Amino acid sequence: MKLHVTEYGRIPEEKPWSVWEQVLDGRVRYSVFQTPLWSNVLDLTIPGARPCHYWLRFSDESEAVLPLFSCKKKFGLSKLESLPWGTYGDLIGNKEITLDHRIAAASKIVSLFKPLCEITVSPTNMNTIPTINMEIKEPHIQECTTHILALGDSFEEIWMNQFQARNRTAIRRARDKGVIVTWGNDAECAAALQYLYKNATQRWEGVETLPAKFFEHIGDMPEDQVRIWLARYEERILAADVILYGREEVQYFAGAGDPEFSEYNASKLMMAEIIRDACERGFKVFNFGSSGGLKGVERFKHIFGGQTQKYARLRFTSPWLSKIQTILD
């Protein structure tokens, strides 16, 4: 019998999201991207988008939450994204979610005025997605890549077996030069991150960047879920990273360094300390995130042992959408 949705409804925008939190409580692993707190950050920082989250029950008696944002387009139409900025949304269920669950959910959510829905599937759920090159017309499956480092071993084992030898040497030299690494979530840390990030984006081409409001609100999240890491030399901040912490899963989200002081290897020392902290706190997976097509960023991830891993973006469309597709892209 074909899987279908038996009951569904919108999750109220106001707190608390008790249904959502109950589903998360039953999961062994999840990303911060899949939490109500992250949804709140997106709501405060993305112009022209609003939360449009759903709870669904399926005919196999499973339940799931689908975090979505409605992004206004032309002619009163909206595009639904789970989630904006390519972060992992997907259905968050109390049982394994398959492609059939996603198709059934989209059939209820895609409508005349919301004719397009994009769902970004976490790399940890890729076993539920068919091979990308299969002849599947709906949904359209776009292959993406990230870099993953397994944290099951101690930091000392990862240091010796995953970090490249030249990387270990660079990290030692950074310490010898007097670079120190700290973290904090206060306004000063957020301002330092924003300053370095803004300067870095002027050197990037064709890469989607974060709005200024993001840096105003990222520090509002609890420190067990987000940390702004800083690498300093004397009184100068040389590099900064935003790291997000879910359950068993750590996610690099954004960062930048001062190219004038690249010989200090501050970013490498900082990443080593971030990974050390994650190991000591018992996390199992470190996700370096997408590289945005920047080859230098990819090389940086590889020297820490990051392994290329696929994830997918699913696009569900209304049958009449092909005539006006460019309106919503």
Tokens of 293: 């097509």
Structure pTM?
0.90
Is residue 300 in a domain? Answer: no
| pLDDT tens track for 179-189 | 999 999 988 99
- Main-chain phi, psi angles of 176, to 5 degrees: -60, -30
Using DSSP bridges, classify how beta strands 226-233 and 69-72 pair: parallel, antiparallel or unpaired: unpaired
CB 278 within 8 A of CB 158: no
ω into 16 cis (within 30 of 0): yes
Task: Name, in order, each residue with C-beta under 8 angstroms of 261's C-beta and a sequence gap of 6 or more.
Answer: 233, 236, 238
Q: Does 326 score more than 80 pLDDT?
A: no
Mean pLDDT calculated for residue range 18-38: 90
**Do 37 and 81 fall within a single domain?**
yes
Distance between CA 214 and CA 44 in Å, rounded? Answer: 8
**Do 36 and 73 fall within a single domain?**
yes
Task: Name, in order, each residue with C-beta under 8 angstroms of 225's C-beta and a sequence gap of 6 or more.
Answer: 32, 35, 37, 244, 245, 246
**Do 254 and 322 fall within a single domain?**
no
- Number of structural domains, the chain? 2
Is residue 292 in a domain? Answer: no
Predicted confidence at residue 289, as pLDDT, reads 87
**Do 167 and 69 fall within a single domain?**
no
Predicted confidence at residue 300, as pLDDT, reads 92
**Do 90 and 172 fall within a single domain?**
no
**Do 125 and 222 fall within a single domain?**
no
**Do 208 and 258 fall within a single domain?**
yes
**Do 120 and 199 fall within a single domain?**
no
For residue 219, what is the domain's CATH number? 3.40.630.30
Is residue 47 in a domain? Answer: yes
Structural domain of 200: 152-283
Mean pLDDT calculated for residue range 88-94: 91
| pLDDT tens track for 260-291 | 999 999 999 999 999 999 999 999 999 998 77
Mean pLDDT calculated for residue range 125-148: 74
**Do 321 and 273 fall within a single domain?**
no
Is residue 295 in a domain? Answer: no
Q: By percentage, how much of the chain surpasses pLDDT 90?
A: 59
**Do 271 and 157 fall within a single domain?**
yes
Residue 322: pLDDT band (50, 70, 90) is low
Q: Does 133 score more than 60 pLDDT?
A: no
**Do 140 and 10 fall within a single domain?**
yes
